[in-house]
Amino acid sequence: MRAVLDVNVIISAVLSPRGAPAKILRAWLDGEFEFVASESLLSELDRALAYPKLRSRVDASSTRELVALIRREAKMTADPDGEPAVHSPDPGDDYLIALGAFAGAVIISGDGHLLGLADEVPVYSPAQFLALLGERRDV
């Protein structure tokens, strides 16, 4: 299975090492699914981690290590050209929808705009995705 992790999931994993997002990162590193990323996703992650409220909680070296880990271990793909077939109420999320569709991947997000599209786009909350991974382990 392939998955695109929204930046909010990655940041939540860093801030709360026992939460569902952190378990998702561990599952990825354990080979339970393929994390699909792009330069746009990594750029957004870099920008978000540089916000003062996050910079006080995540040091710069940890930020660089995280971005390098994703760049090295994730399935890096080109950012898709064109518009996605489905648009988010938040246009800033459209690149995730396009990336997921381009890569044949589900999207994991805590963003209500994206989760509200679950009838049209394969998008899961972190808890839903962990349950899905658990079902796959049981098969």
The three-class DSSP label of residue 2 is strand
CB atoms inside a 10 Å sphere around CB 41: 24
In this prediction the pTM is 0.93
* pLDDT tens-digit readout, 71-88: 999 999 999 988 888 999
At residue 58, the pLDDT reads: 82
The three-class DSSP label of residue 37 is strand
Has residue 138 got a pLDDT over 70? no
Has residue 139 got a pLDDT over 70? no
At residue 2, the pLDDT reads: 97
At residue 25, the pLDDT reads: 96
* pLDDT tens-digit readout, 18-46: 999 999 999 999 999 999 999 999 999 99
What distance in Å separates the CA atoms of residue 99 and residue 40, rounded to the nearest whole number? 10
At residue 126, the pLDDT reads: 98
